[in-house]
Structure 1
Amino acid sequence: MEKINRRSFINGIMVTGIVLQIPNTVLGMFPSKAKMVKASLITDLHHDIMHDGAERLEAFLVHVKKNKPDFIMQMGDFAYPNIKNKTLIDRFNHAHETALHVIGNHDTDAGHTKEQCLEYYKMPARYYTKEINGICFIVLDGNDKGSPTRKSGYPSYINDEQRQWLQQQLKTINKPIVVMSHQPLAGELAVDNAAEIQEILSSAADKILVAINGHTHIDCQLLIKNINYVHLNSASYFWVGSKYKHNSYSEEIHEKYPWISSTCPYQDALFTTLTINPTSGTIHIDGRKSNWVGASPAQLNYVEQIALAPDKEIVPFISKRNIQVTRKEK
C-alpha cells in the first residue's frame, strides 16, 4: 500500500452502517419479475505474502458452495500469475461456472505481466463488461501508466483509451450497472484522475447501482455526486509497513514469509456477498467479522495514514451495508 492522500478523503462523505438512496430511474431499468443477483466477492488475498492464503481462499469457496451466488469475483492482488500458483488460481476458476477477475497492482509484481494475468486468470481483457441476470458489471483496470501527476509508487490511473471506452459503455448500456475496480475511484488511494472519473460516473448516476473497489484494506463507504462507493476490506490483513514491523505468528512462519511482519493480519478470511434485489429495491452487502492476530494497528500506535483511524476504517471486518432504492408514490 502507498501513503494515503488526505485530500482525496475529505472530498467525500464517510458513511457507515446506514441506508442510502440510489435513483429510482435505476430500479425502472429492471425488467418486470427481474431475478435477484448474488455475487460472492473477495479481494486482496495476497497469496504470495500470506502463509495461509490457500486456507483463506478455501474458506471463501466453502462460503460460495453454501451461498450459491450467480457468480464469484476476486478483485485484485490475488496470486502471481505463474505455474507455482496455478493450482490455487484454478481452484478459484473451477469453483463456479462464472468466475471473474480484476487485475490488482501487486498481481504484476516480481516481473509478472498483465498478459500473464489474462492467461492464468482466464480473463477476456484487462477491462471488460459482463452481464449477469440483466445487470451489467463493468470491470476496470486501474493500473494504467501515463498519469501526469504521478510522482512515485505503483501506477494508479485510468488512461485515455480506457476512459473513452468507459464513457461509451455508460452511454450505450441500457441496464443497471455495477462498477468494479481494484484501485478506488473515490476516497483513499483513489486513482490519480479520480475527480475526472467521478464526473464520468455521475453523468450516468441514473444507471449506476454502486461502485466497489479493493486495494485499501479498509472498511468504508462514500456517497459522491449520487454514486455510492464501497471500499471492500482485504481477505488477509492491513498493511502497516516496515516502521511497525512485528511478529504476529511463529518465528518459523515469519522467517519463511518475511512480509507478514509489516502487516496486521486478520484471524479469519474476510469476504462478502453482494445481493441486488430489484423486487425490494435494495443492494445488500453481507458483513463478516474477524479479529486481529497479534498486535492491532491501535496497539502499535499506527498513525501513518492520518485520514484513517484504527478501530474505525482500519478494522478486521467488513460492515453489513444496505443501499436502498425508494419508490415514489404516483
Structure 2
Amino acid sequence: MQKRRQFMKNLGVTTAGVLAARNIFAIPKNPQAKKRLKIGVISDLHHMQFGQDEVARLRGFMDEVIKAEPDFIIQCGDFCRPQKSDGIMAEWNRFKGLKYHVLGNHDMDVCSKETIMKFWDMPERYYSFDLEGYHFVVMDRNFLKKDDGTIADYNNSNWGPLPSPKRSFIDQEQLDWLKSDLEAAKFPVIVFMHQPVFLSDYFDELGNADEILKIFDQANFAAKKQGKTSGVTAVFMGHDHDDRYGVRNGVHYFIVNSATYVYSDKAHFYTDPLFAFITLDPSGKLVMEGRSTTYRPEVPEMIQSRFPSRITDRKLDL
C-alpha cells in the first residue's frame, strides 16, 4: 500500500502536464445528437463478497434511477456473484429501460465468465452500440497472462494468486475488434471498462493498457486528420474504489468510486450508496452529478479523511 501511495505522490508531479492537453480531442459540439443523453452509472457494488447483502444499497441507486429516467444505466463491474444474488437482479430489473453490464474481476470469484454473463443476461463480454448520436464501447479487461506469455480468461478466482503484473489484460481478438470498431465509429466515443488504463495507483496491474491507449490515440489522430467527430472522448472506469479525473492526450478519464466501500487494511463500508448520473449535451458539455455519503461509525477517522466518500460533481465545458 505504501508503494502505491508513494507512486501517486510522484504521479502528482507529472499530472499537470497531462491535464494541460485537454483540448486536443475534447468532446466536440455534436450536431448528430438531437437531445441531452443521461446515463446512470454505478460501480463496485461487491454484493456478498464480504458476506454483505447489498440489495438495500442497490435499491438506493435504483430509486433514483426510476425518478431520473435516464436513457440507460450501466454497472462498471464487481457487481455480484451468481449465488444469493436474485434480489440484486430483481432490483436492477426494476428499471425497464436500457441496461448494460461491464465484467469486473470479482464477478468471476466463484464462477466462469459464461456463468455470470448468463446470470446477468449479458450477450457479449465486450460490445458497442450507438445511441442518440454517441458511440458507446464496453470492454472486458479480465484476462491473466500465463508464464508462457499466452492469456486466459478469469475463472473461479484463478487471477487472485498471481502477481499483479500478470492481471488485467485483454485478448488479441478484442484488441483487433477495438481498433476496427473505433475506425468505423460515426459518432463521439464513450468507453466503459472495469480496470483503469490511466490514473490508477495500481501501477503494476495495468496489463496491456499501453496497447489500449495506443489504439485510442491512433483512432483519435485519424479522426482529427479527417475532420471527424468520432474520436474517443471519455473513458469511465471502476476497480480502484477511488474518485479521480484526468486527461491524457485530450481524452477525459474518470475513475468511478465504489458504491460500497474503500479497502485499506480491510474493507471500510459507506452508510449509503455512491453512484452518479452523467449528462452528455449536444453543445459539447459533459456533466457528472455524483453522490456523497458518510462512513459507518466504526470506520477510523484516519480512513475517513484519507479516502473521501464521494463521487465528485464535474461540469466540463469542453
Return the TM-score normalized by structure 1.
0.78
Aligned residue runs from structure 1 range 109-120, under 5 A: 109-110=109-110, 112-120=111-119
Decide which moves more: 154-163 or 264-273.
154-163
- In structure 2, the residue matched to 1:265 is 269
- In structure 1, the residue matched to 2:314 is 321
- Asked if structure 1 preserves the Cα contact closer than 8 Å seen for 2:29 and 2:282, the reply is no
Decide which moves more: 84-93 or 212-221.
84-93
Amino acid at match of 1:99: K
- In structure 1, the residue matched to 2:156 is none
Q: CA RMSD in A?
A: 3.0
Q: Does 1:156 align with 2:157?
A: no
Name the SS for the 1:203 alignment partner. Answer: helix
Tell me the CA shift for residue 96 of structure 1: 2.8
Aligned residue runs from structure 1 range 268-283, under 5 A: 268-279=272-283, 281-283=284-286
Amino acid at match of 1:23: F
Distance 2:178 2:6 in 1: 27
Aligned residue runs from structure 1 range 74-153, under 5 A: 74-82=75-83, 84-110=84-110, 112-146=111-145, 148=149, 152-153=163-164
Name the SS for the 1:212 alignment partner. Answer: strand
Deviation by residue 1:84-106 (Cα, 9 ceiling, x = unmatched): 21232133134132111001100
- In structure 1, the residue matched to 2:28 is 27
- The change in CA–CA distance for 1:47 and 1:212 in structure 2 (over 3 A counts) is same
Deviation by residue 1:80-137 (Cα, 9 ceiling, x = unmatched): 024x212321331341321110011000102x11101221111120001122212111
- The change in CA–CA distance for 1:39 and 1:22 in structure 2 (over 3 A counts) is farther
Name the SS for the 2:214 alignment partner. Answer: helix
Return the TM-score normalized by structure 2.
0.81
- In structure 1, the residue matched to 2:207 is 192
Gaps of 5+ in 1: 242-261, 301-309, 326-330
- The change in CA–CA distance for 1:311 and 1:195 in structure 2 (over 3 A counts) is farther
Tell me the CA shift for residue 315 of structure 1: 1.4
Tell me the CA shift for residue 298 of structure 1: 5.5
- The change in CA–CA distance for 1:219 and 1:107 in structure 2 (over 3 A counts) is same
Tell me the CA shift for residue 5 of structure 1: 8.3
Identity percentage over the alignment?
A: 30
- Asked if structure 2 preserves the Cα contact closer than 8 Å seen for 1:270 and 1:289, the reply is yes
Name the SS for the 1:56 alignment partner. Answer: helix
Deviation by residue 1:157-209 (Cα, 9 ceiling, x = unmatched): 12211111111111111111100001111121363222222121122335222
- The change in CA–CA distance for 1:229 and 1:311 in structure 2 (over 3 A counts) is farther
Decide which moves more: 188-197 or 130-139.
188-197
- In structure 2, the residue matched to 1:53 is 54
Q: Does 1:288 align with 2:291?
A: yes
Tell me the CA shift for residue 21 of structure 1: 4.4
Decide which moves more: 217-226 or 93-102.
93-102
The number of aligned residues is 288
Name the SS for the 2:63 alignment partner. Answer: helix
Amino acid at match of 1:191: L
Decide which moves more: 139-148 or 178-187.
139-148
- Asked if structure 2 preserves the Cα contact closer than 8 Å seen for 1:14 and 1:221, the reply is no
Amino acid at match of 1:290: T
Amino acid at match of 1:127: Y
- Asked if structure 2 preserves the Cα contact closer than 8 Å seen for 1:93 and 1:121, the reply is no
Gaps of 5+ in 2: 152-158, 225-230
Deviation by residue 1:19-77 (Cα, 9 ceiling, x = unmatched): x64636x525541x621110000010111136341111000011001111000111111
- Asked if structure 2 preserves the Cα contact closer than 8 Å seen for 1:76 and 1:104, the reply is yes
